[in-house]
Amino acid sequence: MTELLQKVRVIDPVSEIDELFDVLIADGYIREVASHISDISADTQIRDCQGLVLGPGLVDLYSHSGEPGFEERETLSSFLQAAAAGGFTRVSILPDTSPVIDNPALVAQLQKRRGGTRGQGGQGGNFSPLSPPSSLSSPLPLLHLWGAITVDIAGKQMTELADLASAGVVGFTDGKPLENLALVRRVLEYLQPLGKPVAFWPSDRQLTANGVMREGTNALRFGLPPIPTSAETTAIAAMLELVATIGTPVHIMRVSTARSVELIASAKAAGLPITASTTWMHVLLDTKAVKSYHSSLHLDPPLGNPSDIAALRTGVRAGVIDAIAIDHTPYSYEEKVQAFAEAPPGAIGLELALPLLWQYLVETEEFTALELWRALSTNPAECLGEKVSAIAPDRPAELTLFDPQQTWKVERKSLYTLSQNTPWLGQQLKGHVVQTWC
């Protein structure tokens, strides 16, 4: 099939381009990019794309799948459909399923369950479903599997890291705090020759205690148990000391405080091999939003104070924070219908992140379109040790077409995810993904 996208706004962080072009796509490849394309075959499908945005496919660094173990929250199929509907062409699931992804047999089982094949060119851990569901026009994204660092993510004993690497995991993380620093040191030493990404979520659970909201005036005002900034920053400082000693590259997940941004900026300036990410809700909302006591605003780490969100946004724009992750965390209705402090932390986001970030960051001109797209596509891919192709002739068509003006209502029938734990449920949003190619 050959398609001509006419007068589409091309946003390409690889080439630093934000301009109007015609783009010709055929047989899974970009064939031509020019200000005007007229030499086309008779069977070419021509699409007027004025007002639409075309960028590299979005890449999610980490999210949660219910399957295996919690299929009432999310299946792999619904997870991938939600990701495609949100503009993602590559997604990565955390290993905290049931059973945990801590052995090669489960990696193989999950690959087989999806009916896919191992990726080519050394990019193990990728697989495409045989065919997308008829209700979804876009192809489903490539799915990466994070392998657990510790057995059953209990934080006490390392998994067989080399065996998991050979099985094709994209990298290693527990997706939960790992506080045994002696074990962290051993992990960094063992992983150094494997050449796979390793991600840690620095958080001191003793300092977190029973807190559910970032410490500050709003926590006092809303009467919720506070979590001090030091619960995150002391753990990051310890992690940076280990990286400085051992030299293994590390990705720091879920950065949520202004002081954390300062520590990471200083470490990068000193040449430490680190990358970092925050989540989309942490750059979108701060503690003022918790006034509603909506249980989907109970996150871990919690939403930051106004000074935190300002520092996170500045950090993303400056490249101190490399990527914005989605950290999609589905829960059933019954699990979330509890008091704020009692509900499990987390919210869905795959289908909501791009429209809301575009509306509140790009349309307000706080971010350029290139800055946002880079944090959602090329940079997260690089954190995984991968590359995203430029939007140029003879390159693979891994693309997302987005309409910033299309409105839609967030409701059960408009979502592909099985869960509805989002504070935007029932609200009208502006911005919708039209199609992806991958």
Cα 435 to the chain's mean position, in Å? 19
Beta bridge partners of 182: none
Active site residue 327: yes
Query: Cβ distance 126 to 150 under 8 Å?
Result: no
Choose the catalytic residue: 300, 322, 327, 403: 327
Distance, in Å, from the CA atom of 172 to the CA atom of 73, rounded to the nearest integer, reads 24
Whole-number CA gyration radius for the chain: 21
DSSP string covering 324-359: EE-------HHHHSS-TTTSPS----TTTHHHHHII
Angle (CA) 287 292 297, round 5°: 55
53-56/399-409 β-pairing: antiparallel
Structural tokens at position 306:
């106004």
- CA torsion, points 23, 370, 169, 178, in degrees to nearest 10? -170
13: how many CB neighbours lie within 10 A of its CB?
A: 23
Distance, in Å, from the CA atom of 299 to the CA atom of 12, rounded to the nearest integer, reads 32
Structural tokens at position 79:
């997870």
Angle between helices 258-269 and 306-318 (to 10 degrees): 30
Query: Cβ distance 125 to 172 under 8 Å?
Result: no
Q: What 3-state DSSP class applies to 274? A: strand
Query: Cβ distance 412 to 427 under 8 Å?
Result: no
Known catalytic residues? 327
